[in-house]
Structure 1
Amino acid sequence: MRNLMKKPLILLMLIAIFSMGISGSAFAHKGNNQSKQNEKDSLNAATAVTMIVKGLDLNIDNIKFIKKPEASDYFTKVKNDSSYAEYFIIAQINGLGIPKDINPSAKITREQFAKWLFGALSHKGNYSWIEIFQSVSDADQVTNGYMDSIQKLLIAKIVSLDSKQRFYPKSYITRAGADDMISKTLKFIKNTKSETPDTSVLNQVKITSDKETDSVTRVMLSVLVPHSGFGLEITGIQFSKGVATIQYRVLEPDPDNMYSQVITELKAVTYIPSDYKAVLGTVQPTAPFQG
């Protein structure tokens, strides 16, 4: 009788163990499938760059180039005849900060996409950011130099953390994830006032003096500007008590022209008696460039 009772009990235990094994395998299989699906949906660099450029409507239409730019001018592995070459060029000039040796077919992580997206956002406008730091539990996995972009996107609510404050920086970015971040970036741009950037170069003008002759001093004003469209001129000199006060102004670029984005040094020269000391005077209002 006891043996008859033991057999069904043993049988039930075996069935339970077998069922647990099947269930565990099913969950593992489901998890593997999800992981494979995420990897399948993940973006390579070429697609990620293209999405950011198109999504944020980045362009280089207002830049006049001395020669037509090519992808090989900026990147070592992006072919000039590739379908995405133009997007890489636009991305580079619009501040995405893509590495020179980027492989267009390489899978892109969430932290990489976040850094590029923030670079593009910063180029679209001059936004102010509150000084807060959100705790990220997997911050130790974030590459040096990437956390600031992630923090800014968290502040802008363009990205978010999970319930355990994880960002998953090394996980591949999926198309759905990229679409969501770009959509939220556009919303941020629309709803956030961009401060007018301080493009004035007036407070950066430097003055130097050199002996021209025993009785004459050569005075030069100089300043670095974003491109050759600017001008610099001396508008007058006031002599008083051994001091020659040099007044000057910057000539603004012609808004109807396009200029090569090359840092240019402007110079303006005048001459004063050697027994006077040259100093910068009152900044005069800017004027349209007539040169």
Structure 2
Amino acid sequence: MKGKRMAAIVLSLATVMALTPVASAFSDIKGLKGEKHILQLKERGVIKGDAKGKGAYHPQDKLSYAQAAVMLDEAFELSLAHILFVKEPKASDVYTKVKDNTWYSQAFVDGYHNGLIFDKDINPNAPISREEFAAQLMKQVDRLGDYALIKMYVGYTDEDKGKDEYKGEIQKLLLLKFAELNKDGSFNPTKPITREDAAIWVSNALKFVEEQFGDKEEEQGDKQVALSELTFKTEKINDDVNKVTVSATVPHPGYGMNISEISFEGDVAIIKLTQVDPNPDMMYPQVISTVTADTYISSQYKIKLIAE
């Protein structure tokens, strides 16, 4: 799922469910409140089942920090586009107990640079509380843009048991109906969130994202790609770092180019490039032109260019 446009996140939920084969259902979610939500996230590639291949989701299990990081990373397509790295970022650079080269390592890296930040000594296998997951989820929704929210207070009977730092995000979670209170009016803020409840909250959040930002993302996805004939040259800065200058041919000088993401696969640094579209209110000479963008990469990596 990584690397796809955000538009992939905002696919119509009706379409997703229409294409869901019966055989794709987990073996332990039939009849659950969260059944449809779990299936929706499975089809999006956000969640997976039993690592042993038994086709189970274990909906009542506690969600771990590692699972939460991966779920939110996949759901919101977290990217490192806004940072130019001179070396491959690693989870161990930030967290003392999060190992590198595990199934969850990249999610902690992506998250750290996109507002999904945990305590530095977090145990990735420990359960995450309902209030902290609520806060982390709402931070990712808020990052996508502004939206209207009627400021009303939603009271819950055990509000005094939670941390003050999470209460604002819990209010937004409840106002937007991503989550519901228990029948007794409680929220259980300090209890671990179950895998089922996490799926319900994230699924509802993505539906909201679709309604608020879907049209804008689809318009961006339909634009014509103008970058062609990609090339690069390197300039040695020191023994460890090279300056990489990327060049591309564009139809006229109104276009520009940005480096949108740098990822690493083995000894290869993959530089993804996006075009800057012309100002529609200006006239440009129809002359084929060259645009450039610079970044800095560790000298140990080979370079691969991709235009999006």
Going from structure 1 to structure 2, the CA distance change for 1:170 and 1:124 (only over 3 Å counts) comes to: same
Alpha-carbon distance in structure 1 between the residues aligned to 2:117 and 2:293? 35
8 Å CA contact retained: 1:50, 1:87: yes
Structure with bigger helix share is: 1
How much identity, in percent, do the aligned residues show?
Answer: 34
Alpha-carbon distance in structure 2 between the residues aligned to 1:180 and 1:172? 15
Alignment partner of 1:41: what SS? coil
Q: How does 1:102-181 map to 2 (within 5 A)?
A: 102-181=122-201
Q: Deviations over 1:22-46 (max 9, x none)?
A: xxxxxxxxxxxxxxxx996111110
8 Å CA contact retained: 1:118, 1:149: yes
8 Å CA contact retained: 1:96, 1:118: no
Alpha-carbon distance in structure 2 between the residues aligned to 1:158 and 1:290? 41
Output the amino acid matched with 1:103.
N
Partner of residue 83, structure 1 = 103
Alpha-carbon distance in structure 2 between the residues aligned to 1:146 and 1:80? 29
1:192 aligned residue (212, 215, 223): 212
Q: Deviations over 1:89-127 (max 9, x none)?
A: 111111123222211011111111111111211222233
Alignment partner of 1:256: what SS? strand
What TM-score, normalized to structure 2?
0.50
CA RMSD of aligned residues (A): 3.2
Q: Kindly report structure 1 stretches of 4+ aligned residues shifted beyond 4 Å.
A: 288-291
Partner of residue 73, structure 2 = 53
Alpha-carbon distance in structure 2 between the residues aligned to 1:186 and 1:129? 16
Alpha-carbon distance in structure 2 between the residues aligned to 1:163 and 1:100? 36
Structure 1 residue 257 and structure 2 residue 259: aligned? yes
Structure 1 residue 66 and structure 2 residue 68: aligned? no
Output the amino acid matched with 1:97.
I
8 Å CA contact retained: 2:257, 2:293: no
Q: Deviations over 1:111-165 (max 9, x none)?
A: 1111111121122223343222211111011112000110111111111112332
Output the amino acid matched with 2:77.
D
Partner of residue 101, structure 1 = 121
Partner of residue 213, structure 1 = none
Gaps of 5+ in 2: 1-57, 217-255, 263-290, 295-308
Alpha-carbon distance in structure 2 between the residues aligned to 1:290 and 1:52? 31
Alpha-carbon distance in structure 2 between the residues aligned to 1:104 and 1:185? 23
Output the amino acid matched with 2:179.
V
8 Å CA contact retained: 2:81, 2:261: no
Alpha-carbon distance in structure 2 between the residues aligned to 1:55 and 1:85? 16
Relative contact order, CA 8 A, sep 6+: which one is greater? 2
Going from structure 1 to structure 2, the CA distance change for 1:290 and 1:116 (only over 3 Å counts) comes to: closer
Q: CA deviation at 1:259?
A: 8.2
Alpha-carbon distance in structure 2 between the residues aligned to 1:152 and 1:50? 22
